[in-house]
Structure 1
């Protein structure tokens, strides 16, 4: 019995490393992009797709692979994802041009979507009671910590070696995960649920793919009219109407068809890609709503703060990464705290404690941000914010899945992961709009007050906003635009502050949505007949 217990906890370590693999990769690339541009000479459009191709594919496939894991084996699907992720990382590291790199990132997104929901469903199927709370605490703190450590690792690898190692490091990590999981994690699947809902799978990919595309690309291509022409290879968008509202229209149609098809499958006695009966569980239904809202603001600081540190305070990529270590340390501390509280305090209470810590931390950051800020005061604020992320992320996941039947663990995990990804994409769209719109407005007003001619003013504002603050250093180097650089630094600080306040507001709304959690006992959920199985490795 003791050997089995130790084996389960050892397995949790390797499951957490698998989560680290995809979380680090999603943040590490942002730091490596300038070096990629210098070496490969890729266009601005290709840069955008290098960063976003992964997210788009990843978010659109989470529900599908979560469901497939229940049918064909959770460990098996996770290991397949790790292999695919590692192999695509090799091709990314060896990419000779931008198109090859984008293709590699697309495949990485497929691998990542196979890994994330299966790690959750394996934990849900393996741990019970107080141990499950501790296991989710470790899983959630890993996500928060790795999101902060990714830029540090990316900065170090890029500056000390090459941007190619930002991808190459995934290979040894993948080998460690494969060996460790095979030795310590038993297989689990539901052999009675092997039919595949192909129509539901296609509709879900269309639904979430177009939704995330619209949320990510709205600020670039225009929310209604075309601000920038959408191009993909040799194809260029031919109409004056932006592709974003078209994508949202496809999202709406896909949602209606997906729900109608799922109801039809269920009434016909066939399994659907998503068992709608899951939403009769109060903790699952309310928890997914809370997860979506919380994700709107949870990593908002990761969007704007690195840009502000780099372009206003003058930090380099490695220094930015070191600053964010405070967030990672706070997240890891949360793991121990949540473990100590497991069984003593209700998980939803720990979620609320985490959200309160996040709100205080991000408000603290907002009050510090200014062109001449003392960066030392950011360290405790980031620690507190990271501590809150570690608490809220893990325990909210536990609340969502606590009453989900084991045979539906993959579907439940995929659904909650999708909720978070949609919330994150929506948060990036909103917070990015707040950051750059408020920066542009503040800089325009400042240059008007200084008497700068309208044409020159518009050029300066466009340069600062389009470069996400990167043009500030160039303005400062030119004596003729030094005053404009000071105004731009102040405006960008204002935009960063407003984005932080907006993120705090989303977190506050998320805190309110948790009020309904934990009030009522779970309702009985009937599912298609299936017996859970657990096979030795």
Structure 2
């Protein structure tokens, strides 16, 4: 039993950071009422976390290489716990968003090192068992998050969706300190701080500009300055990465159609499948008057369907070309998101079931092979960086998706009665998610078809430890 303590420590940390992606969704109406914030503030509650994860994941993988995976993981756990406490006691939306961003920093340190620690701890058959168990726990986190968020918000308050992290973090820290051995360090490993800073500025400025445009209009000077600044920061990032001796994201990786397709698929999945969840949560609670728990349960079909499809059919799809599993799965997700537009002023929560089931099938088909296919498209010595980039794309897709769909929602509902405006805005947001999913799926299908390096979803090569997530 003692040999599985490291696995337990890794699963506790990963479960905690991953449920915090979804656990806030059903608590958003209570947060808005308690802190007196509107849609823009709620968008940042989600995006502050997702952006920090996206921006820092690759850099923290490099830091873990230099200073050791174990201390990096322990620092991440401690920061996540402290930030969770800050979220729970936040008295304003600004403080909550700042604490959520700090949570994201801690989460990035944990996500960048978890599988590295498992890889170093286990060998042979035990390593396969450990990775499988970690994957199952990670896959279940999204579904558990919405239900746990509903239970805690219903029985206690929204603040307990953050307080619950504290005892979990304490146990994870104690177990990790005891169970994981010393981590190797590479003192010569360079850290691309300039690349990290420019990427962070680009992602944050773009997200801020989109959210501000939704609130104040596209002619708003602040929105325009942010979007232009984001574009300039992105150009700067590309220049830095092209000249850096140790780039955060080696640009030659993007020359391969297979890897580029995988990044687009990762971002597209998060955008099309999950970015509309905050708006749907508001509809379920503010307009259908469901409790947070019932709202969470009504959103569960997506996660349950994805879990069942990936578990039952994952092995059968092992030898299917990625253009069908990943490109086809993403197209299914887009179709499912478009199905959510059947919601009208007289709809019940059951109107979401067809769309959620189709989205769940798409996620269940495309998610299992996604990382393996991406890693097969790059040289083995860059597999860790590639895995980190794929997870970065996932979080960036979620952050930009929440910003874009919130802006579409505002614009479509403007000037109408509250109920009709909300429904029109919601339908415009879900159809936008659907169109993005279908277009991204078509592009991914085409890129995989052109790639001569991408193979079917074979077992992933051994990753470069500190970056795999």
TM > 0.5 fold call:
yes
Q: Is the contact between residue 355 and residue 389 of structure 1 (CA under 8 Å) also seen in structure 2?
A: yes
Superposed displacement of residue 251, structure 1: 2.2
2:267, 2:246 → 1: CA distance?
A: 26
Superposed displacement of residue 169, structure 1: 0.9
Q: Is the contact between residue 55 and residue 203 of structure 2 (CA under 8 Å) also seen in structure 1?
A: yes
1:495 equivalenced with 2:419 (yes/no): no
How many residue pairs get matched? 457
Superposed displacement of residue 306, structure 1: 2.0
1:198 alignment partner in structure 2? 193
1:511 equivalenced with 2:421 (yes/no): no
1:236 alignment partner in structure 2? none
Aligned in 2, Cα 1:301/1:33: closer, same or farther, shift over 3 Å?
closer
Superposed displacement of residue 138, structure 1: 7.3
SS across alignment from 2:437? helix
1:387 alignment partner in structure 2? 361
1:120, 1:393 → 2: CA distance?
A: 18
1:305 alignment partner in structure 2? 280
2:377, 2:127 → 1: CA distance?
A: 12
1:347, 1:12 → 2: CA distance?
A: 30
1:332 equivalenced with 2:307 (yes/no): yes
Aligned in 2, Cα 1:70/1:294: closer, same or farther, shift over 3 Å?
same
2:56 alignment partner in structure 1? 61
1:99-498 → structure 2 map (5 Å cutoff): 100-119=95-114, 145-178=140-173, 191=186, 194-225=189-220, 241-242=221-222, 244-265=223-244, 270-337=245-312, 339-341=314-316, 343-367=318-342, 369-376=343-350, 378-379=352-353, 381-405=355-379, 407-440=381-414, 443=416, 461=417, 464=418, 488-489=419-420, 491-498=421-428
SS across alignment from 1:224? coil
1:387, 1:189 → 2: CA distance?
A: 41
Aligned in 2, Cα 1:493/1:222: closer, same or farther, shift over 3 Å?
closer
Aligned in 2, Cα 1:186/1:397: closer, same or farther, shift over 3 Å?
farther
Superposed displacement of residue 319, structure 1: 1.3
Superposed displacement of residue 15, structure 1: 4.4
Aligned in 2, Cα 1:434/1:256: closer, same or farther, shift over 3 Å?
closer
Superposed CA offset, 1:474-504 (max 9, x none) = xxxxxxxxxxxxxx34x53343333322222
Aligned in 2, Cα 1:300/1:50: closer, same or farther, shift over 3 Å?
closer
Aligned in 2, Cα 1:425/1:36: closer, same or farther, shift over 3 Å?
closer
Range that drifts further, 120-129 or 79-88? 120-129
SS across alignment from 1:195? coil
1:522, 1:278 → 2: CA distance?
A: 13
2:273, 2:371 → 1: CA distance?
A: 14
1:380, 1:436 → 2: CA distance?
A: 25
Range that drifts further, 356-365 or 153-162? 356-365
SS across alignment from 2:227? helix
SS across alignment from 2:309? helix
Gaps of 5+ in 1: 226-240, 444-460, 465-487, 524-530
Q: Is the contact between residue 331 and residue 440 of structure 2 (CA under 8 Å) also seen in structure 1?
A: no
1:228 alignment partner in structure 2? none
Superposed displacement of residue 82, structure 1: 2.0
Superposed displacement of residue 321, structure 1: 0.6
1:350, 1:135 → 2: CA distance?
A: 25
2:402, 2:43 → 1: CA distance?
A: 14
2:122, 2:254 → 1: CA distance?
A: 23
1:414, 1:306 → 2: CA distance?
A: 30
2:210, 2:125 → 1: CA distance?
A: 38
1:391, 1:520 → 2: CA distance?
A: 22
1:176, 1:339 → 2: CA distance?
A: 33
Superposed displacement of residue 85, structure 1: 0.4
Q: Is the contact between residue 352 and residue 514 of structure 1 (CA under 8 Å) also seen in structure 2?
A: yes
1:521 alignment partner in structure 2? 453
SS across alignment from 1:314? coil
Superposed displacement of residue 120, structure 1: 6.4
Aligned in 2, Cα 1:383/1:532: closer, same or farther, shift over 3 Å?
closer
2:35, 2:360 → 1: CA distance?
A: 35
Structure number, greater radius of gyration: 1
Aligned in 2, Cα 1:310/1:165: closer, same or farther, shift over 3 Å?
closer
Aligned in 2, Cα 1:201/1:360: closer, same or farther, shift over 3 Å?
closer
Superposed CA offset, 1:401-460 (max 9, x none) = 23445554443233223322332233223322333333336x3xxxxxxxxxxxxxxxxx
SS across alignment from 1:422? helix
Aligned in 2, Cα 1:514/1:213: closer, same or farther, shift over 3 Å?
same
1:502, 1:39 → 2: CA distance?
A: 30
